[in-house]
Structure 1
Amino acid sequence: MKTVILAEKPNQAKKYANALGTVKRGKGYFDIDSNIINWDVSIICGVGHLVELSSMDRYGEQYKKWNMNNLPFQPSNMLYDVSGKTRDQFVNAKKQLEEADLIIVATDPDREGENIAYSIFSMCSKIVRNTPKKRLWINSMVDKEVQRGFRNLKDSKETYNFYVEAQTRQISDYLVGMNFTQYFTLFAQSKGLSGIYSLGRVQTPCNSLIVQNDRDIKNFKEEIFYKLIGMATKYTNNDKVKFFSEKKYRTKDELASALYPFQLEAKIKTNILSVQKEIKTKKAPKLFNLGGIQSYSNKKWKYSLDKSLKIIQSLYQEGYLSYPRTDSDLITTNEGKKFYLHLV
């Protein structure tokens, strides 16, 4: 009896292998002698996406040349191809999967991880699609957490809808990009313009926001405003202290109107009779999610989003961070218990 574990990336596969037992390396896979998983165990991996949506010309000769008459492009069934750059790895993975009596999906614990796994399965034989499956769902690459995850596998049905969601997003991205890029390119060319005008579901709104922000910066006009300022002198060391009001006034008349009810039309001197002090507490900030740490890295070290993501991803793969590609700023109950034990 054979168990095949499908990881998403080579580093991830290596982490699993080292955490599970004694490792023997094969061509594109690891054989594991493990006391955590029964039966013979092999670990294979993708290199990200081994399978991708086919280009339009795979749907018929008429799509080899862009033509308005072919739009909108709405195929009843989507076609997929094995990526040319990773075909060898797909062949290795397919061979191992077709020999499996149990498949453990161990790609990243998110929608895209599910999509990568089931896209690979879809290009394999019916045997693979019908093979019983379990799901590893962990947020840390630390050995103990990996071992705990493999001892407490989920049924694959519990996370299958993540694949459905990711595939829907992937197809919508594809159809929006293919249809609108061709339409606007052909339309622009009919008006005498040249080049290709690429549009996308995410790309185009983001470009629009960048352009609008750039225009706002270029068209920005300075505005004069007024604020109230109070001056004080410390008796202890004669240091000057300034107090600023938060409210801004667009004109001096507006400022004067605000001061009139308090009879503060002119500068006055007054004494501070008492000062109250109180101790306030606030909760510690939550942990970083991906967007939060990217924003912090950009402000602190001027890192680009791409650079910070690469650093964060590498730290995750080395076991120093929990799974980074998430909006969550919380940790799991198991991780919380682990931190508590370290503290006490």
Structure 2
Amino acid sequence: MTTVILAEKPSQARSYVEAFKNSTKKEGYFSVSDPVLANETFITYGFGHLVELATPEKYDQKYKRWSFSNLPIFPDKYKFIVPRDKKTQFKIVKDLLMKADTIIIATDSDREGENIAWSIMNQAKINLKSKTIKRLWINSLEKDAILNGFKNLKDAWNYYPAYQEAQTRQISDWLVGMNGSPLYTLLLRQSGVRGVYSIGRVQTPTLYMVYQRDQEIKNFKPEPYFEISAEILANRQKFVAKLDPYQRFKDEGSLTSFMEAKDLRIGFREALIKDVLQETKKTASPRLFSLSSLQSAINKRYHASASDVLKAVQALYEAKLLTYPRTDCNYITDQEFNYLFSNLTGYLSLVSN
């Protein structure tokens, strides 16, 4: 019985290999053995997406030339191809998957990871119903997490809808890009604007949001306003009292009218504090960073871009120093908590030094 573990990329495959007792490197894959694995087990990998959607000219050569008459492009059936520079690795993966009795999907634990794995298996034209397909679902590349994950594999078919969702998103991106880019480029050329213009489902609205914000900043006109506050001296201590409910006044006239109506004056005046409310407040410890909150915090402190932060945390994840970064989850598993708790003394020594 042959088992093939399909990783997303070489670095991820190496992390799995390092968690097992024995391994032998081959061309494009590893032969591994460990008590948690079946007798004959191999780990192979993609380079991210080994399979991608074909460009329009793969459907019909007429699409090589952009023309209004060729739009819109809506294929009856979408074609997927293996890029030329990835064909060698794809063949290695395909041959291993063909002879496998059991396939373990071990790509990243998210929709895109599902898309990568199932796209490879479908492109390889494997009879999936004849295979036992399992899913490794972990969010840490730490050795114990990997071994525990392989001891508790999931049924991969439970995650198949995530692949369908990801592929739908992939196709929608393709449709917008392959129709929008030629359409707007041709329309702009009619108006005398030269060049090629890329339109994307996410890219274009995001760019427009940046433009709108830039215009708001550019056209912002500050407006003066007035506030009311009082400096209070009580028991030889000073504090500032603010109007409740809070109000701003656009001009001095409206401020004066409000003060006259409330019998307020500028200057020293005796007053009576009618009530003091005391309450004990508890502030919970801050949540762990999600990817988006980390990107925001690092940008404010160091002005690093979101993509730079993602690259950094991805590298730390592959070095087993972070949990899976491409998520908005603020929580860790019980296993990860126990690991951190057992090493707390060591972390405290780092802080104290």
Aligned to 1:112: 112
5+ unaligned residues in a row in structure 2: which ranges? 346-353
How many angstroms apart in 2 are the aligned matches of 1:126 and 1:308?
Answer: 38
The one-letter code sitting in structure 2 at the alignment partner of 1:117 is A
Pairwise CA distance, 1:139 = 1.0
Aligned to 1:296: 297
Aligned to 1:65: 65
Aligned to 2:350: none
Aligned to 2:135: 135
1:12-43 Cα offsets, whole Å, 9 max, x none, are: 11111111221211111111121111221111
Q: Is the 8 A contact 2:4 2:104 kept in 1?
A: yes
Aligned to 1:248: 248
Does 2:69 correspond to 1:32?
no
Pairwise CA distance, 1:44 = 0.7
Pairwise CA distance, 1:119 = 1.2
Does 2:70 correspond to 1:80?
no
Pairwise CA distance, 1:105 = 0.2
How many angstroms apart in 2 are the aligned matches of 1:136 and 1:260?
Answer: 72
5+ unaligned residues in a row in structure 1: which ranges? none
- 1:1-344 correspondence runs (5 A): 1-127=1-127, 130-232=130-232, 242-245=240-243, 246-270=246-270, 277-336=278-337, 338-339=339-340
What secondary structure sits across from 1:249 in the alignment?
coil
What secondary structure sits across from 1:159 in the alignment?
helix
What secondary structure sits across from 1:126 in the alignment?
coil
Pairwise CA distance, 1:134 = 0.4
The one-letter code sitting in structure 2 at the alignment partner of 1:150 is F
Pairwise CA distance, 1:188 = 1.6
How many angstroms apart in 2 are the aligned matches of 1:79 and 1:43?
Answer: 28
How many angstroms apart in 1 are the aligned matches of 2:176 and 2:125?
Answer: 30
Pairwise CA distance, 1:167 = 0.1
Pairwise CA distance, 1:190 = 2.1
1:98-128 Cα offsets, whole Å, 9 max, x none, are: 2211110000000000001111112213346
Deviating more after overlay: 162-171 vs 135-144: 135-144
How many angstroms apart in 1 are the aligned matches of 2:203 and 2:36?
Answer: 45
Task: Output the TM-score relative to the length of structure 1.
Answer: 0.92
How many angstroms apart in 2 are the aligned matches of 1:143 and 1:258?
Answer: 68
What secondary structure sits across from 1:11 in the alignment?
helix
The one-letter code sitting in structure 1 at the alignment partner of 2:331 is L
Q: CA distance change for structure 1 residues 36 and 209 in 2, over 3 Å: closer, same or farther?
A: same
The one-letter code sitting in structure 1 at the alignment partner of 2:135 is R
Q: CA distance change for structure 1 residues 24 and 128 in 2, over 3 Å: closer, same or farther?
A: farther
What secondary structure sits across from 2:52 in the alignment?
strand
What secondary structure sits across from 2:325 in the alignment?
coil
How many angstroms apart in 2 are the aligned matches of 1:129 and 1:73?
Answer: 33
The one-letter code sitting in structure 1 at the alignment partner of 2:286 is P
The one-letter code sitting in structure 1 at the alignment partner of 2:308 is K
Deviating more after overlay: 2-11 vs 326-335: 326-335
1:115-169 Cα offsets, whole Å, 9 max, x none, are: 0111111221334674221000111111111111100000111111110000000
Q: Is the 8 A contact 1:259 1:265 kept in 2?
A: yes
What secondary structure sits across from 1:331 in the alignment?
coil
Aligned pair count?
Answer: 342
Q: Is the 8 A contact 2:4 2:42 kept in 1?
A: yes
Q: Percentage identity across aligned positions? A: 39
Q: Is the 8 A contact 2:97 2:126 kept in 1?
A: no
Deviating more after overlay: 292-301 vs 258-267: 258-267
What secondary structure sits across from 1:196 in the alignment?
coil
Q: Is the 8 A contact 2:3 2:104 kept in 1?
A: yes
Q: CA distance change for structure 1 residues 130 and 175 in 2, over 3 Å: closer, same or farther?
A: farther
Deviating more after overlay: 199-208 vs 271-280: 271-280
1:284-304 Cα offsets, whole Å, 9 max, x none, are: 222211111100111122111
1:54-92 Cα offsets, whole Å, 9 max, x none, are: 111000122121111111100011111112232222222
What secondary structure sits across from 1:319 in the alignment?
coil
Q: Is the 8 A contact 2:98 2:126 kept in 1?
A: no
Deviating more after overlay: 242-251 vs 161-170: 242-251
CA RMSD of aligned residues (A): 2.3
